[in-house]
Chains A and B, each alone.
Chain A
Amino acid sequence: MSRKVKSNVEVTLIYLFLAFMAIVIGYPLLWTVGMSLNPGTSLYSAQLIPDNWSLVHYKWLFTDPSSNYLTWYKNSVMVAVANAFFSVVLTSFVAYAFSRYRFVGRKYGLYAFLLLQMFPAIMAMVAIYVMLNMVGLLDSLVGLTLIYIGGQIPFNAWLVKGYFDTIPKELDEAARIDGAGHLGVFFRIMLPLAKPILGVVALFNFMAPFVDFLLPRIILRNPENFTLALGLFNFISNQFDNNFTRFAAGSILIAIPIAIVYLLSQRFLIAGLTAGGTKG
């Protein structure tokens, strides 16, 4: 077998494998789209390519008086915006102190962050529930947002601190000679140069409330206060009103914008994670 033939066989095999992967990836996604177009509500009678397809579920989500879909969308966006903004502010403060100053407790603080970021929120669920109940923030979006903001600090502070470390110290020193103080260096040197990583943090924290269902499930009770993920989950977890096709329709409407954002920003996200994550 000549070298060229061998190479062609290889390339064909690679393409075949990639085509197989494309089917494995595409099938569940297209199946969901097919489900959402079925007029019925049960999985049993649903077809991958419905004979009489309809947009009845999409219409229901937006127009039916018993549908809270738009409220959930609004709730999720509010939590997401607040979470993204306050997370960036708090984390960049913490990261700046840890990156540029040597103070008592600094090293143990860093160890603590590295450790705490690995502890999942479920470990502390009971306490979070009881405490929110004590201060009257149970079943409220404010309570949910506070928990998100506090919980993200260890991971993101570490990420941003790693990125700050890559910004040359000479820049700070130059700015200080020009009369900048602690705050001046922070606002005029660090923040502008760290825009990529702050963008990553903002994006992660903006997305979190859209895709997390666990915290809302524990904290929120009233359907008016639900976020999207929790509301959609209840479409199918509800024993008496199992409605998979409606869930499919609602999910597609949130998955498409999120997927587009991720696809457009993936290079930027990965670059941020490797820069901040590996530098330490």
Chain B
Amino acid sequence: MSANNPTARKNHNPKIAMVLSILLAGLGQLYNRRYVKGIIFIILEVSFIVTLAEFINYGIWGIMTLGTLQGTDHSIFLLIYGLISIILIAFALTLYIANVRDAKKDAIRIRNGEKTPTFKEGVRNVWDTGFPYFFITPGLIMLAFIVILPLMFTVALAFTDYSQYTQPPRALLSWVGFDNFARLFFETGGAGNNIWQDTFISVFTWTIVWTLVATTLQISLGLFLALLVNDPRIKFKRLIRTILILPWAVPAFVTILVFAAMFNDRFGAINTDILALFNLSIPWLQDPFYTRIALIMIQTWLGFPFVFALFTGILQSISKDWYEAAEVDGASRFQKFRNITLPHVLFATAPLLIMQYAGNFNNFNIIYLFNEGGPAVRGQNAGGTDILISWVYDLTFELNQYSMAAAITIILGLIVTGFAIFQFRRTRAFKEEGNI
């Protein structure tokens, strides 16, 4: 086609445009005679280099060495500068690649003799293709600095030796590779010296038990109550629903602290008012076993109303025809529940239920507010009811074992990623690929 096109310039080479724009962003555009665009790219690149080159250079040096002058260089600040530099470089590279692609695309169009858009059309084009990027930029910047950078920092911290003995700026940090993980999993330094390993195993086991038992209980109770209240023979449905939703409506930190007081061994209401009737007194806050029982009961109390409300909405939306058809076929009540109600309810709420499990896995509030992870247990540096996330908090803010805390955080992150992958697969829309 281009042979017949009078405006085609066969000798206009896209490769030259690409090479030029790799040398300096914007040169390729100048070669394509897109002067305004080219100049904008050049100005962007030059100002990026002029203003940020020094910072990036310092940051990269900082993250590589974590400082060389004890007492002057602050390893933690250097680490953060380094991470910011990496984010900036990533942004710049993205723009750079866009610039090279743009130069190539324009050059091909010129060679094929397509009409060069006027400046006004060009602006229009940029606005159209760039619009989604303009719109996500403010959110993306917030996200980069408030969520992604701190997570990168935590990951980096896991590979340093930051603890209460090496506090910058008094001491310098250094990179230690996988030492922290090795300590966590394998350290067996003779007589009872494998405290990390012991603690990790016991905390991890309890975290799993806690997540499965507490979440399954709250979902089951929510489902059971939703079925009961949905029964057509039950009256005062509105009032009953309001009462059942109350635990969700009251702020959780208030109710957890109230429960902590009620479960108090010596003067809490549970022991003095209720169990005293049966001549019982249970060491709720002293014995890890009972503290765990109390925590699971409290979480069930806190968590079932949300599930109840969720299921109530779904139950009301299931068409009556299904049940009528099942009755004609002589299905028992359990069969109707098993084959109609349960699939409907679970299909519609699966992602939110997975979130319930993930939420309890990381349910810091209840563990910390109820008994600060206690009671203390001999031979480990976490309390008897600490889950991974509350152990991380303790290690960070009480024991100042920053890098060990970060290493555990990475393990936590991997498990959470597992939840997320499960979530991707369950979420309906992800199955219809391309339509997300």
A25 within 8 A of partner (CB): yes
Q: Chain A 1-17, CB within 8 Å of chain B: the 1/0 string?
A: 00000010011001101
Considering the chains assembled together, what is the distance between the CA atoms of A24 and B132 in angstroms?
A: 51
B193 interface residue per 8 A CB criterion: no
Given the complex, which residues of A lie within 8 Å of B364, measured CB to CB? 120, 122, 214
Q: A residues engaging B (CB < 8 A)?
A: 7, 10-11, 14-15, 17-18, 21-22, 24-26, 28-29, 31-32, 35, 43-44, 48, 90-91, 93-94, 96-98, 100-101, 103, 106-107, 109-111, 114-116, 118-120, 122-128, 130-131, 134, 146-147, 149-151, 153-154, 157, 162, 165, 182, 210-214, 218, 229, 232-233, 236, 244, 247-248, 251, 254-255, 258-260, 262-263, 266-267, 270-271, 273-274, 277-280
Chain A residues near B250 (CB, 8 Å)? 29, 255, 258-259
Q: Which residues of B contact A232 (CB under 8 A)?
A: 254
Task: Answer whether A116 and B147 are a contact pair too, CB < 8 Å, given A229-B251, A258-B249.
Answer: yes
Q: How far is the CA of A26 from the CA of B246 in the complex (A)?
A: 9
How many Å lie between the Cα of A223 and that of B301 in the bound state? 32
Q: Check B143 against A150 for contact (C-beta < 8 Å).
A: yes
Contact A103 B251 (CB under 8 A): no
Across the interface, which residues of B come within 8 angstroms of A101, CB to CB?
131-132
* Chain B residue at minimum C-beta to C-beta distance from A165: B429
Confirm or deny: B154 has a beta carbon within 8 angstroms of a beta carbon on chain A: yes
Most A Cβ at <10 Å: residue of B251, B252, B369, B427: B251
| Complex: A57 Cα to B131 Cα, angstroms | 56
Nearest-neighbour CB distance to chain B for A172, whole angstroms, equals 13
How far apart are the CA atoms of A23 and B309 in the complex, in Å? 19
Whether the Cβ atoms of B80 and A134 lie closer than 8 Å is: yes
- Tell me if A118 and B419 are in contact (CB < 8 A): yes
| A151 neighbours in B (Cβ, 8 Å) | 146-147
- B151 contacts A119, C-beta separation under 8 Å: yes
Check if B253 sits within 8 Å of A213, measured CB to CB: yes
Complex: A271 Cα to B369 Cα, angstroms? 31
Chain A residue at smallest Cβ distance from B392: A122
On whether the beta carbons of B145 and A150 are closer than 8 Å, the reply is yes
Q: Which 3 pairs, one residue from A and one from B, show the smallest C-beta to C-beta distance? A: A150-B146, A124-B150, A280-B429
Name the distance in Å between A60's Cβ and chain B's nearest Cβ.
18
Asked if A14 and B231 sit within 8 Å, CB to CB, the answer is: yes
Given A29-B246, A270-B310, also A48-B429 (CB < 8 A): no
- Chain B interface size, under 10 / 10 to 19 / 20 to 34 / 35 or more: 35 or more
Cβ contacts A to B, 11 pairs, < 8 Å: A14-B234, A26-B243, A28-B259, A35-B261, A116-B151, A127-B150, A130-B77, A229-B251, A236-B261, A251-B254, A254-B251
Q: Does B267 contact A (CB under 8 A)?
A: yes
B7 within 8 A of A: no
Q: Which residues of B contact A (CB under 8 A)?
A: 76-77, 80, 127-129, 131-133, 135-136, 138-140, 142-143, 145-151, 153-154, 157, 225, 228-229, 231, 233-234, 240, 242-255, 257-259, 261-262, 264, 266-269, 273, 301, 309-310, 313-314, 348-352, 355, 358, 362, 364-365, 368-369, 389, 392-393, 396-397, 402, 405-406, 409, 412-413, 416-417, 419-420, 423-424, 427-430, 436
Q: B315 CB to closest chain A CB, in angstroms?
A: 12
Give Cα A107 to B352, complex, Å.
21
Q: Which residues of A contact B148 (CB under 8 A)?
A: 116
Q: Smallest CB–CB gap between A164 and chain B, Å?
A: 12
Apart from the given pairs A90-B142, A122-B392, A130-B153, 11 other A-B contacts in the complex at a CB distance below 8 Å: A28-B255, A28-B258, A32-B258, A116-B151, A118-B355, A118-B417, A119-B151, A127-B80, A263-B246, A278-B351, A280-B429
Q: In the assembled complex, which residues on chain B have CB atoms less than 8 Å from the CB atom of A259?
A: 246, 249-250
Which chain A positions have C-beta within 8 A of B151?
116, 119, 123-124, 127
List the A side residues contacting B409 at CB < 8 Å: 123
Q: Is A274 in contact with B349, judged by CB distance below 8 angstroms?
A: yes
Q: Which residues of chain A are near B261, meaning CB under 8 Å?
A: 35, 43, 236, 244
Interchain CB contact under 8 A, A270 and B251: no
| A154 B147 Cβ-Cβ under 8 A | yes
Q: Is the CB of B352 within 8 A of A273?
A: yes
B273: chain A residues within 8 A (beta carbon): 48
